[in-house]
Amino acid sequence: MKKLLMLAALIAIAAVVVACAPATTNPPAASSSSSVASSVAPTAVPAKAVKLTIWCKEGGVDLDWVKATAKTFESKNPGVTVEVINKNVEDLRNDFQTAALAGTGPDLLWTVNDHIGVFATAKLIAAAEDVMGKDYFSKFVKPGNDAALFQGKLWGVPISAGNHLMLLYNKNLIKTAPQDTDEMIKMAKDFQTANPGKWGLVFNETEPFWVAPWIGGFGGWPLDDTKIPAVATLGTKANADTMNFLASLRNTEKIIPLEADYDGADGLFKDGKAAMIINGDWSIGGYTTVTATKTIDLGVARIPKVKATGNWPSPMTAGVYFLFPASTKGDKLDAAKAFVNYFVSKDVQIDFVKKLTRLPALTDAGNDPVVTGSAILKGSFDQMSVGKPMPVVPEMRCAWDSWKPNYQEVLTAKQTGDQAAAKAQAAAVDCISKLK
């Protein structure tokens, strides 16, 4: 017994000594290297060692680029260690709220703009314009800034503009993109007749984000965020017609699978078993890899015009943003600002365009021939031009959650579009009233 207690005492002393040992200090970080573009704002890099933890919503090849670029940032900023952790969008939202309460959250977020409303309302993030200064944002494209506006302030530094859905098609399977919905249905049917077992069109049928472009095409929108609090507008004929239209693609025209979630649709397109996919700009990188291009010759176009109304579908436009957790202060905040500056510098934004094939947020980068000379990016920009900013208010969560189950019931012919629209509206109104 005595031996055990002696051992316990020795371990306790050793552990306390190790834990209390002063951290080794690194020499002061060098100033930004000359290879960084002059558009980088001079932000102080912390003098002592700093570890920056970033939660990033990018995955796959896009995440590889982020990590590699972060390594380059580290080499230019000795003393700053960057850890990039991937979290999918939903996990990031949930986990950040939990971690922020425990005081153990990340130092910087790389995420979508619809988190802004939730995090800002819960006071978990600081307004980016307070951190970087309002003038800082003059160098970004207007859609990029607009999508980060909440309660009159800019809450995120834009990395890319868009994050919108568009029609992506495989030119190995169909030569051109359809211009309207009738043509889309005809082309899909012809393709399926010639290629049994394959699909003319696929998309994520489980999430209402993929319904949003079509409700725009039918002249509606899920939320009126000009009012405070925002008002749900799901109980409209436009929403009913939208859901009926999508159900007809599945049940009457039979040009989409009876079941397809995001991974299912993505897999069918990558395997060459679907001619067209409605997916977002974040997916383009995955369809242009060396492996993917053996099957896919990618074309990008607008989602076809709704024949019944003559309107172009309006996908929700947003972007990807840096958000600053409210708990990030001192040296970590300085390091985070330096990191943000680096990633929105022209050189890095151009590299972002080249590697991830997404529209940059920096105006200078958007005017570069790399962007203006790319057919894929032109198509993406063309689609974004008819998009509408996604509401970032927390009430949008209510709209999504109310829309989803009712839309799925229309898809499976359990209820009509009118019934689903009414029920979704009632549920959204109830949800919004409980947000207080």
Partner 1 sequence: MSSITDSKTTSKLARSPNIDVDWQGLSRNLPMFLLVVGVIWFLISFFPMQKALTTDYMVSSVTDVGNFLLGLVAFFAIIEIVLYIVLVRILQWRYALAYMLLAPGAIGLATLFVYPFIYNIAIAFSNRSLQHFLPGAYDYSLDYGITNFTSVFTGNVLHDTGFWEVFFRTWVWTIINVTFHVLGGLGLALLLNRRLAFKGVYRTILVLPWAIPQVIAALALRGEFHYQYGFVNNMLVGIGLPRVEWLNEPIPAFIAATISNIWLGIPFMMVIILGGLQSIAAEYYEAAEIDGASGWQQFRSITWPLLQPVVAPATVLGTIWTFNAFNVIYLITQGGPAEKTDILVTALFKAAFEFYRYGQGAAFAIVIFFVLFSVSAVYIRMTGALKAVTE
Question: Is residue 94 near partner 1 by the rule CB under 8 A?
Answer: yes
Which one among 39, 97, 251, 295 touches partner 1, defined by CB under 8 A? 97
Cβ distance to partner 1 smaller for residue 51 or 294: 51
Nearest distance from residue 259's CB to partner 1, in Å?
4
DSSP-derived 3-state class of residue 424: helix
Phi, psi of 343 (to 5 degrees): -75, -20
- Listed residue (57, 80, 59, 82) closest to 69, CA to CA: 82
In the list 31, 258, 289, 329, the residue contacting partner 1 (rule: CB under 8 A) is 258
> What 3-state class would DSSP assign to 207?
coil
Tally of CB atoms within 10 A around 307: 16
Residue 194: closest CA among 208, 174, 176 = 174
Told to check if 102 binds partner 1 by CB under 8 A, we report no
* Local structure of 243: helix, strand or coil: helix
Instruction: Yes or no: say if 31 and 45 are a contact pair by the CB < 8 Å rule.
Output: yes
In the bound state with partner 1, the residue whose beta carbon lies nearer, of 126 and 353, is 126
Q: Which of 130, 190, 224, 259 binds partner 1 (CB under 8 A)?
A: 259
Helix axis angle for 60-76 and 346-356, nearest 10°, is 160
Tell me if 328 contacts partner 1 by CB under 8 A. no
**Residues binding partner 1: number (CB under 8 A):** 46
Regarding 252 and contact with partner 1 (CB under 8 A), the answer is no
Instruction: Kindly state the smallest distance separating residue 101's Cβ from partner 1, in Å.
Output: 7
For residue 435, state whether it binds partner 1 (rule: CB under 8 A): yes
Q: Which residue carries 């004929």 as its tokens?
A: 237
Nearest distance from residue 281's CB to partner 1, in Å?
26
Q: Is 251 in the site for partner 1 (CB under 8 A)?
A: no
Residue 167's contacts (CB-CB under 8 Å, 6 or more residues apart) are: 177, 178, 276, 277, 278, 300, 301, 302, 303, 304, 383
Q: Decide if residue 89 touches partner 1 (CB under 8 A).
A: no
Residues of this chain, 12-41, that bind partner 1 according to CB under 8 A:
12, 14-16, 18-19
CB of 61 to partner 1, least distance (A): 14
Q: How far is the CB of 212 from partner 1 (least distance, A)?
A: 18
Residue 46 has which token pair?
A: 């912390």
Please report whether residue 88 would count as binding partner 1 according to CB under 8 A.
Answer: no
Query: Can you give the C-alpha Rg of the chain in angstroms?
Result: 24
114 binding partner 1? (CB under 8 A): no
Binder of partner 1 out of 328, 409, 417, 425 (CB under 8 A)? 409
Among 30, 44, 101, 375, binds partner 1 (CB under 8 A): 101
Residue 356 touches partner 1, criterion: CB under 8 A: no
Determine which residue in the list 37, 47, 122, 174 makes contact with partner 1, applying CB under 8 A.
122
Sign of CA dihedral 384, 389, 394, 398: negative
Q: Which residues contact 74 (CB under 8 A, 6 or more apart)?
A: 80, 81, 82
Q: With binding defined as CB under 8 A, does residue 68 bind partner 1?
A: no
CB 417 within 8 A of CB 220: no
Contact 375, 300 (CB under 8 A): yes
414 sits near partner 1 (criterion: CB under 8 A): yes
434 near partner 1, rule: CB under 8 A: yes
Per-residue tokens: 174 = 């169909």
In 227-244, which positions are buried (b, 16+ CB within 10 angstroms) versus exposed (e)? eeebebbbbbebbbbbbb
Residue type, 120: A
Of positions 45, 66, 112, 124, contacts partner 1 by CB under 8 A: 124
What is the footprint of partner 1 within residues 378-407 (CB under 8 A)?
394, 397-398, 401-402, 404-406
Task: Decide: is 416 part of the binding site for partner 1 (CB under 8 A).
Answer: no
Judged by DSSP in three states, 34 sits in coil
Q: State the residues that interact with partner 1 by CB under 8 A.
A: 1-5, 8-9, 11-12, 14-16, 18-19, 94, 97, 101, 118, 121-124, 257-259, 264, 394, 397-398, 401-402, 404-406, 408-409, 411-412, 414, 423, 427, 430-431, 434-436
